[in-house]
Amino acid sequence: MDFIDEDFIDHNKNNKNNHKKMEVDQNEELPTKFDMEMTIKYVANHGNDKNDFEYTMTEFLRMSGIYWGTTCLDIMGHLDKLDKKSIIEFIKNCQCKKSGGIAACDSHDPHILYSLSAVQILCIYDALDEIDIPALGKYVQSLQQIDGSFFGDKWGEVDTRFSFCAVAILALTNQMNLIDVDKAVEFVMSCVNPDGGFGSKPYAESHAGLIYCCVGFLSITHNLHRLETEKLAWWLCERQLKSGGLNGRPEKLPDVCYSWWVLSSLTIMGKAHWIDGAKLKEFIISCLDTETGGFSDRPGNMPDIFHTLFGIGALSLLGYENLKKINPTFCMPEEIVSKIYQAQILEY
Amino acid sequence: MHGRLKVRTSAEEAARKKKEQDLKAKAYRNGMDKIFTLRNAENFDNNLLELSGKILSVNPDITTLWNIRRECIIKMTTDNPDSASTLFDRDLNFTELCLQVQPKSYGAWHHRSWILENSPKPDWNREVSLCTLYLKKDERNFHCWDYRRYVARKANLSAESEFKFCDEKIQKNFSNYSSWFYRSQLLPVLHPHPSDSSRPISEEKLKEELEIVITAAFTDPNDSSAWFYQRWLLGYSDPKLDLACFKLTQSQAVIAFTKLVDLSKDKITISTNTSLDKGIWRSLSGNKSDSIWIQKGEFEISDDILIKMNHNDKTFELEARKIDNNSIIGIKLPSFGYEFGAAVKEELKNQLDSCNQLLEFEPDSKWTLLTAALLMRSIDRFQYHEKTLEYVRKLQKVDSLRAGYYMDLASKWILEEKLKNMVESGKFDKIDLSSLDLSVVYYNQFLFIGNEINLQNNSKLNKKSCKFALVDGCKVTF
Ligand SMILES: [Zn+2]
């Protein structure tokens, strides 16, 4: 789950000023219908031009980029638009011979974030045996610390995102016995805050993205009973704003990717009905780029593949027509996950 | 990827930009190729630091480049220990530069802490000052807040001094959830409740805090930051672990807890001094965690039973009485929230008056309605029962995004009232929950005690929430 934070807002104010002389068409009407065809093309063509600036500058998260692309194409029923063979070849090249971990792309260092993305892609392609799974398991095992937490790689950053990645990788590859699950749970529970939410580590501020990681973690390890669901789910349903969109923390702007982090967490806790699904649907669709396909973070912004997946993922959770069902814990097609692992979901 | 406005440009402008970007992409490619060549040749020197610095200062999210810098620093300080302080200082300055470009870069923040953890003389106080400065620029940057809590601990700053910092931030701007959040972490350390560990802070402090927060909340009633803090002060009603209910018949024993528990893992022991102690409890749902647990068998209905639960060295008890030749039952009404002392209640009443006054002018004010309802529940949840329901029903309309939440909240409060009446009357045989506009059934762990439960005429009821209906001997009509 590689996610970059919500609000580059302040920093981007400067950007907007740079663009002052350029014209922004404010009167353009926001889309109200999701034309899937164009978005399928948008995702499928992403990365066709290997020298493209954006594409080049995001190579450090390429593996996650491919996961976002394959997952949303599969949810839209068009996985065939990508070349399975070359993707699997790419993943094989990214597994580190020494550590067993997987890197975002060739020459870069292995990291647990990209290891999970790789495993997710391989599950979608039913091709887990293409990489060295025991070596990957050992890699994940080597990152667990005495307090139960996980490093992201050997350089020692600790984050609840990595706890999620660890158990997700091990669940999908059937190697959960490699780590001390009880200790891992205790660490995640030590990150609960007075407001019911979770941050990246103990004492860190609650944030919807990290709440998803922790709720997802507890769902995978079947420990949802450790949550104070009423308190947490109320905090999460308060993320919905008048526009119908969701933000990641109180008094922040809405953003399509939070549609996923918030709605999936609520779904896992059986409280998806605590927000207005129809209004959320409207907001997500208003972020569709009708010229190119793909979703942006907010109406009128540039689309990208990250927001395209999380927009479509949330639409799938909302039962949008013609989309495959998505699994709220793993953010992968339900039909794939259900064959591999049963995570815990509360019904109400 | 975030917050980038889509702008329309002329064809020439687009072409010019494309050219500019192509050059940048090429420069990046060349730079990265050089870096990886040097790294593979193990040329960990100033040149490599410089090359990686050029790219990181534009894009600080490239983790591998931070790793390479760390490799350089380790190699160079091993070869020449005298260079350590210069190298560490230089990278501290460098991360500052990157954070100015991208204050939310995980990589830059982590590199900073790596430098400090590895440097011989880390100046943690300088880090605290840096955070103070950064939080002036963006008082919601959670990376910086989280980093501040880490360096403040390293610098051995007292909770008092951090509280002072946090308080100043709030005084300057009430609308800052991050500061209120930090406050809710610091107060339990500074002013713990002397006797009740389930309560975050002492009553005296609570009263003061209530006064402060209501002023803040009324300053801008549409800003949610202070209201969240107010709700934290009033306490949430998620129940604490306890025994809830017990029912023994000739063929089955049922034991229930106030919350979901995993009896195989949660280190809970149940003792009854009967044959039940030798049997195995199975969860009603078949899941690992559940609030209702069952034992099947042949049981004798003879004397009253005292059930004891041990958890974390605490003992909880439930008395179960033989009510006829067929059953022994016990029920313990849970606390539905905190019971505050007289002084705090006085303050809560004042606040309720203020809320009600505000509602005269702004009858649709969401936060005022919700807080008023919560205040009434905290003062006397059953005396104000009808009024709180009226407010919540109103919230379903004025805050319609969350109508589902308010429906469930009303259902919960209705059930609390019913439970209380049921326990007071001592009549458990037939439970009438019909025509109450319930959307969900809370408190499953008390309802299986009845033989007949009527849930008819609740058209919006989610039947999945009625798990207790699965208990044998429990006849439920929908
Ligand atoms: Zn986003």
Average pLDDT, rounded, for chain B: 94
Beta strands at B430-432 and B328-331: parallel, antiparallel or unpaired: unpaired
Same fold for the domain at B15-122 and the one at B243-331?
no
Among the partner residues A19, A155, A250, nearest to B70 by beta-carbon distance: A155
Nearest to A251 among B5, B224, B288 (CB): B224
User: Which residues, numbered 247 to 306 in chain A, qualify as contacts with chain B under a Cβ-Cβ cut-off of 8 Å?
Assistant: 249-252, 255, 271, 273-276, 279, 289, 296-298, 300-304, 306
Percent of chain A with pLDDT over 90: 87
- Residues in A 147-166 with any Cβ partner in B closer than 8 A: 153, 155-157, 159
Q: Where are the domains of chain B?
A: 15-122, 243-331, 413-477
pLDDT value of position B240:
87
CATH number of the structural domain B243-331: 2.60.40.1130
CB-CB neighbors (< 8 A) of B287 in chain A:
222, 344
Instruction: List C-alpha distances in Å: A335 to A64, A176, A266, B114, B380.
Output: 21, 21, 21, 42, 50
Rg for chain A, CA atoms, rounded: 19
Sorting pLDDT into bands at 50, 70 and 90, what band is A2?
low
How would you classify the pairing of strands A326-327 and B243-248?
Answer: unpaired
Asked if the Cβ–Cβ distance from B224 to A250 is below 8 Å, we say: yes
Structure confidence by residue, pLDDT tens digits, B346-404: 999 999 999 999 999 999 999 999 999 999 999 999 999 999 999 999 999 999 999 99
Confidence of residue A21 (pLDDT cuts 50, 70, 90): very low
Residue B4 is predicted with a pLDDT of 86
| Distance in angstroms (rounded) separating the CA atoms of residues B133 and B110 | 18
Best probe of the B interface among A7, A19, A159, by most B CBs < 10 A, is: A7
| Structure token digits, residue B239 | 């129940």
Separation CA B58–CA B60 (nearest Å):
6
pLDDT score for B118: 94
Using an 8 Å Cβ cutoff, are B5 and A302 in contact?
Answer: yes
CA-to-CA dists, residue B21 to A321, B27, B102, B256, angstroms: 39, 10, 20, 65
pLDDT at A51: 84
Q: Which residues in chain A are contacts of B6 at CB distance < 8 A? A: 289, 296, 300-303
The more confidently predicted of residues B44 and B120 is B44
| Partner residue opposite A199 with nearest CB, options B4, B32, B146 | B146
Residue B75 is which amino acid?
Answer: K
- Shortest Cα distance from B473 to chain A (angstroms)? 23
pLDDT band per the 50, 70, 90 thresholds, residue A299? very high
- pTM (predicted TM-score): 0.95
Residues 6+ apart with CB under 8 A from B314: none
**Residue B15 buriedness (CB in 10 A; 0-12 / 13-18 / 19+):** exposed
β-sheet bridge partners, residue A301? B5
Q: How far is CA B43 from CA A150, B34, B39, B68, B83, in A?
A: 31, 11, 6, 11, 17
- Domain B15-122 fold is 1.25.40
Lowest mean pLDDT among A252-261, A262-271, B233-242: B233-242
B443: closest CA of chain A, how far (Å): 12
How does residue B2 score in pLDDT terms, banded at 50, 70 and 90?
confident
Q: For each of the domains in chain A, give its residue range(s) and CATH number, in order of start.
A: 29-142+222-337 (1.50.10.20)
With contacts defined as CB-CB under 8 Å, which chain B residues touch A200?
146
Kind of pairing, strands B252-261 and B290-296?
antiparallel
* Cβ-defined contact of A51 to B287 (cutoff 8 Å): no
Token pair 């009854």 is found at B272
* Nearest residue to B446 via CA among B265, B212, B257: B257
Question: Which ipTM was obtained for this model?
Answer: 0.96
Cα radius of gyration rounded to whole Å, chain B: 31
CB count, 10 Å around CB of A105? 18
The reply to whether A203 touches chain B by the CB within 8 Å rule is yes
Instruction: Give me the pLDDT at residue A29, please.
Output: 79
pLDDT recorded at residue B9 = 82
